[in-house]
Structure 1
Amino acid sequence: MAKHKLSETRIRTLPAGIHSDGDGLFLRVRKEGSRQWFFIYKRSGKRTELGLGGYGQGTAPVSLALAREKAEAVRQRLARGDELSAKKTFADVMDDVITVKESGFRNEKHKAQWTMTLREYAKHLHKKPIADITRDDVVETLKPIWSTIPETADRLRMRIAAVMDHAKARGLYVGDNPADWRGGLKDLLPPRQRLTRGHHAALGYKEIPAAIKALRAAAGISARAVEFTCLTAARSGEVRGATFNEFDLEDGLWTIPPDRMKAGKEHRVPLTGRAIEIVKAMGELATTDAVFPISDTAMVKALRKATGDDSTLHGLRSSFRDWCGDETTHSRDVAEAALAHTLKDKTEAAYRRSDALQKRRTLMEDWSKYCASGQ
């Protein structure tokens, strides 16, 4: 059968119907004007049609040249005896990528974040054949979270790109990666917002006592979890993931294992009297190993109900740090250690051999007294 029957000029004037470019490549022109490439082949008497994308449609139009490239890739796979009738979906390839990458993840938390991002936020792509994914599909997937949670959105884009690169390497996708930022997405989505302190709205530390008073007056696990987060200056994820076996209440110590810490290092948190009271109270209600079996959303709602503004959980750490610097004589090193911050200065980090536990215990006692000063 002859190939290359069509031309870019002729395509623009084709009437509604199905038009062959030869050797299995066809263009379907619909009455409303849309044009769709597809490839047809037969195996054992069974006819199979594979979509190759739209001509002049959406944000990733498939040109005649690209359609021919995709068609040739299909022919090569058929020549090798590959089975194409059951097209792999994005979810199929995504699962393969996660399996391949598992051994390279730094810790379980990183693995869980990588997996969750694709499973939850890329649902729009899951059922689509990997060969048919377009840049427009990627845009529609990213749009709902691009402005609201920009950091997560950009991580999602990079992980979608990784799935598409994997598909290209296996011959399951032909063409430019539709999730590549410089490949066209930068012209279709607003500029990426850089995460700054302003994105974690922090309650002024002078308002903390009133917020703690409101939290203590509120019933429910969420209010207790937020108060505990504030008292320990911990990250909300560290609090939500806490289990009872991490606590030594006699010594007033909470030991967070490396796989739950951002820096991948064990972090010891000295507990004040009030923090211990909260853990004990949670133990009396517990039905699982989790100390605070709640969602991040529930905690945010409890915080905002107590403050009446758009304060964030992460912002509580900023409130603590500002209080340390403005209202106390505790050293910068001790305050940074309390926040489990990794020092960028390697020389300074090398000299700091201790986690300054006793000094941090004194600091957290002072912070707890300040938090309770609104009672």
Structure 2
Amino acid sequence: MKKSVTPTFKDYAEQYITNAEGQWKNDKHRAQWRMTIEVYAKLLHGLLVSAVETAHVYEVLRPIWSTKAETASRLRGRIEKILDAAKTAGFRDGENPARWGGHLEHLLHKRKKLTRGHHAAMPYEEVPAYVQTLRKRETIVARALEFHILTAARPGMVENMRLEHIDWVNDLWVIPAAFMKVAVDHVVPLVPRAMDILRELGHNTKKGYVFWARRRGCKISNSTLKREMTLTGAGEYTPHGFRSSFKDWAGDETAHDDETSEHALAHQVGSETRRAYRRRSALKKRRALLGEWFLYTQLQKANCDNREVE
């Protein structure tokens, strides 16, 4: 028999997560549960948990099923668990509209596996919570991965970073052409948090490299970064994929032009003459863009703190 007062999906989801998160050891897992329900399941928020039907769940999943396949799949599973719990508590009857087998599988195509060579990218909505997970880890590799995210740099650029590449006065990272994919010097404006990381590690380098693997006693590698992602619950993604996360965020959430984000990624844009000009003049714009990227993660942290995620 149903209880007299039926909660909304949002209220019941909040109650479910609060009750369950004590069993989850991974901070990122806790944050992702709340984030996916809050950001992607908004259509369900105002519905009574008893009124959620297949059409509602389908409309939540459909827009992101192809573009954010991993997130969509996990979101479906989370909605299914919440609705199962609601049924057990007496707030629902009948079959679960979020179940996959014999139900949603007929409406949504199966997720495609990533092809070889594809850099699996974390959806940018999940990056802020992940950055906070990294900040709780007191390892050089975690600092390297956080620095990599904040600068939107290629992993190889971070791996080869040396103290002499840092302009401490102007908060710049001057990367020599020898370390660049396009064999051209590249200047990266550094946000305050990135500078803090460098100051923290600057006195403890190995053979001049800022980021080094303590286990091997030499500079980090891409496999070292990937291992850190696996240890922190993000093993389905790649370090290089964070560049795509940044690019998607810049295009979806900011008013900055595409050329600025392309320069921030050290991509070649336009003719050789135009590229030479833009390398000089776009620095201020790139600093503003990377500053907003940094603030995005901090604002999300504040929101998470208010929801008692951490």
Structure 1 length as normaliser, TM-score? 0.45
- What letter is aligned with 2:170? D
Unaligned 5+ segments in structure 1 are: 1-192
Look up the match of 1:234: 153
Distance 1:245 1:305, change over 3 A: same
Pairwise CA distance, 1:371? 2.1
- SS of the equivalent of 2:187 reads strand
- What letter is aligned with 1:330? H
Look up the match of 2:298: 372
Distance 1:353 1:373, change over 3 A: closer
Look up the match of 1:220: 139
Look up the match of 1:257: 176
- SS of the equivalent of 1:268 reads strand
Distance 1:214 1:332, change over 3 A: same
Whether 1:315 aligns to 2:254 is no
Distance 1:227 1:348, change over 3 A: same
Look up the match of 2:93: none
- What letter is aligned with 1:290? Y
Q: Relative contact order (C-alpha < 8 Å, sep 6+): which is higher?
A: 2
Look up the match of 2:231: 305
Overall identity of the aligned pairs, in %: 41
Pairwise CA distance, 1:320? 0.3
Look up the match of 1:189: none
Distance of 1:260 and 1:295 partners within structure 2: 14
Larger fraction in strand: 1
- 211, 226, 251: which one pairs with 1:292? 211
Contact preservation (8 Å) 1:209, 1:372: yes
- SS of the equivalent of 1:319 reads helix
Distance of 2:300 and 2:229 partners within structure 1: 16
Matched length: 181
Pairwise CA distance, 1:247? 0.3
- SS of the equivalent of 1:285 reads coil
> Aligned runs of 1:154-169 on 2, under 5 Å?
none
Distance of 1:280 and 1:347 partners within structure 2: 36
- What letter is aligned with 1:257? P
Distance of 1:269 and 1:351 partners within structure 2: 16
Q: Deviations over 1:98-127 (max 9, x none)?
A: xxxxxxxxxxxxxxxxxxxxxxxxxxxxxx
Contact preservation (8 Å) 2:147, 2:194: yes
- 283, 288, 298: which one pairs with 2:202? 283
Distance of 1:355 and 1:258 partners within structure 2: 19
> Aligned runs of 1:88-127 on 2, under 5 Å?
none
Distance of 2:176 and 2:162 partners within structure 1: 11
Contact preservation (8 Å) 1:337, 1:355: no
- SS of the equivalent of 2:174 reads strand
Whether 1:333 aligns to 2:259 is yes
- What letter is aligned with 1:306? T
Distance of 1:350 and 1:285 partners within structure 2: 35
Contact preservation (8 Å) 2:177, 2:184: yes
- What letter is aligned with 1:367? W
RMSD, matched Cα: 2.2
Pairwise CA distance, 1:374? 3.5
Whether 1:356 aligns to 2:275 is no
Distance 1:226 1:353, change over 3 A: closer
- What letter is aligned with 2:241? G
Pairwise CA distance, 1:346? 6.3
Pairwise CA distance, 1:342? 1.1
Whether 1:324 aligns to 2:264 is no
Pairwise CA distance, 1:248? 1.3
Look up the match of 1:200: 119
- SS of the equivalent of 1:291 reads coil
Distance of 1:280 and 1:322 partners within structure 2: 30
- SS of the equivalent of 2:232 reads helix
Distance of 1:250 and 1:276 partners within structure 2: 11
Q: Deviations over 1:204-227 (max 9, x none)?
A: 000000100100011211100000
Structure 2 length as normaliser, TM-score? 0.54
- What letter is aligned with 1:239? V
Q: Deviations over 1:328-369 (max 9, x none)?
A: 001111101100001266686477463510111111111111
Distance of 1:305 and 1:355 partners within structure 2: 40
Look up the match of 1:245: 164
Unaligned 5+ segments in structure 2 are: 1-113, 213-219, 302-310
Pairwise CA distance, 1:316? 0.4
- What letter is aligned with 2:180? M
Distance of 1:222 and 1:352 partners within structure 2: 32
Q: Deviations over 1:1-39 (max 9, x none)?
A: xxxxxxxxxxxxxxxxxxxxxxxxxxxxxxxxxxxxxxx
Distance of 1:355 and 1:263 partners within structure 2: 19
Compare CA radii of gyration and give the structure with the larger one.
1
> Aligned runs of 1:42-191 on 2, under 5 Å?
none
Contact preservation (8 Å) 1:212, 1:372: no
